[in-house]
């Protein structure tokens, strides 16, 4: 494996196990974020990332749909001592992804850091059902960490929407015609994923995409069962379109849902795709 390539593309793949009974299968590829390579190490206590854990708490013991719910995420070591310092990665100390079980709902939010390892945010779950919360953060002096938690939200549960792989990867979102393509699409291969942006009415290339959280775009990928989680940043973070390219790798064949997040003319937008990886 070419580690330099991985470093450059900021790729991480974390295989998550949802079952708390089982030991976690965590695989973090090197090069999650440039920041972790740039920290001065002299005199700083280093963090053994394998001992970092997240304790999730909800202000309401049973969160309800359609209500502001407070989520608290306490980051600590395996003795319960808070981890106190975090690196800023893409402008935030923590990125929190919220999806529901059939992956029809996606949210990317940023909890506030309250000190002493505690992150908090108020958010709403649109319907009842099972949701997965996935937190990305980097303890200072340590490696990028991903911690996740399933939560049951009370309220009406809509019928699950089946994930059907799309064959046509061109769609119109917020007046933009977005096309997704891959240089090769096969499980276990390092590949390049390209988003191309045209003005939907004039078909002219869009060349003034704006940075969103410090990069031209962000891509989150989840396997259909929400167990395999990948968060990618662009090969060229300062690109402005019409193309945004990301390096990634799908750990196994199967159905995946991915969400590209971009910003244009002051507005952020999300482009979702469901794909079949051979
Ligand atoms: Cu984020």
What contacts 205, CB < 8 A, 6 or more positions away?
Answer: 196, 197, 198, 199, 241, 242
Question: ipTM of the predicted structure?
Answer: 0.95
φ, ψ for residue 108 (rounded to 5)? -125, 110
pLDDT at 60: 74
Nearest to 19 by CA among 132, 107, 98, 125: 132
Where does the chain have alpha helices with state H?
3-9
- What is the 200 CA–ligand 1 centroid distance (Å)? 27
Q: How far is the CA of 180 from the centre of ligand 1 (A)?
A: 21
**What domains sit in the chain, N to C, each tagged with a CATH number?**
49-157 (2.60.40.1930), 170-277 (2.60.40.1930)
Q: Measure 138 CA to ligand 1 centroid, in angstroms.
A: 13
Ion ligand 1 residues within 5 Å by Cβ: 95
Q: Is 26 exposed, middle or buried (0-12, 13-18, 19+ CB in 10 A)?
A: middle
Q: Which residues contact 21 (CB under 8 A, 6 or more apart)?
A: none
* Span from the CA of 220 to the centroid of ligand 1 (angstroms): 10
The residue among 259, 105, 269 whose CA lies nearest residue 180 is 259
Question: CA torsion angle for 166, 170, 173, 175 (degrees, to 10)?
Answer: -160
Distance (angstroms) between ligand 1 centre and the Cα of 110 equals 6
Ligand 1 centroid from CA 95, angstroms: 4
Rounded mean pLDDT for each run of 10 residues along the chain, 278 residues in total: 41 38 34 33 53 90 92 95 95 97 97 98 97 97 95 95 96 98 97 98 97 94 97 93 97 98 97 98
CA of 109 to the centre of ligand 1 (A): 6
Which residues are paired to 227 by β-bridges?
A: none
Report the pLDDT value the prediction gives residue 50, as an integer from 0 to 100: 72
CA of 202 to the centre of ligand 1 (A): 32
CA of 23 to the centre of ligand 1 (A): 27
Gyration radius (Cα) of the chain, Å: 19
Q: Tell me the C-alpha distance between 37 and 74, whole Å.
A: 25
Model pLDDT, residue 46:
57
Q: How far apart are CA 73 and CA 120, in angstroms?
A: 6
Alpha carbon of 191 to ligand 1 centroid (Å): 23
What pLDDT, on the 0 to 100 scale, is given for residue 9?
39
For the stretch 17-43, pLDDT in tens is 333 333 333 333 333 333 333 333 333
């Amino acid at each position: 494996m070419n580690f330099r390539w991985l470093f450059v593309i900021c790729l991480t793949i974390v295989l998550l196990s949802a079952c708390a009974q089982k030991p976690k299968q965590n695989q973090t590829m090197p090069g999650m974020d440039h920041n972790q390579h740039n920290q001065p190490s002299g005199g700083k206590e280093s963090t053994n990332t394998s001992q970092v854990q997240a304790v999730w708490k909800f202000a309401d013991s049973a969160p309800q749909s359609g209500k502001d719910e407070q989520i608290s995420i306490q980051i600590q070591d395996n003795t319960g001592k808070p981890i106190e310092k975090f690196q800023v990665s893409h402008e935030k100390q923590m990125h929190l992804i919220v999806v529901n079980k059939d992956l029809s709902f996606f949210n990317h939010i940023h909890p506030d850091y309250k000190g002493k390892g505690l992150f908090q945010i108020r958010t709403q779950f649109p319907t009842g059902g099972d949701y997965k919360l996935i937190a990305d953060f980097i303890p200072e002096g340590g490696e990028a960490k991903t911690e996740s938690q399933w939560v049951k939200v009370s309220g009406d549960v809509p019928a699950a929407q089946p994930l059907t792989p799309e064959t046509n990867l061109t769609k119109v979102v917020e007046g933009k015609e977005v096309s997704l393509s891959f240089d090769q699409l096969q499980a276990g291969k390092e590949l390049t994923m390209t988003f191309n942006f045209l003005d939907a009415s004039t078909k002219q290339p869009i060349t003034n995409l704006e940075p969103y959280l410090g990069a031209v775009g962000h891509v989150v990928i989840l396997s259909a069962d929400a167990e395999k989680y990948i968060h990618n940043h662009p090969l060229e973070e300062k690109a402005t379109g019409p193309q945004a390219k990301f390096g990634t790798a799908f750990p196994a064949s199967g159905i995946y849902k991915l969400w590209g997040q971009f910003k244009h003319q002051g507005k952020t937008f999300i482009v979702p795709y469901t794909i079949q990886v051979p």
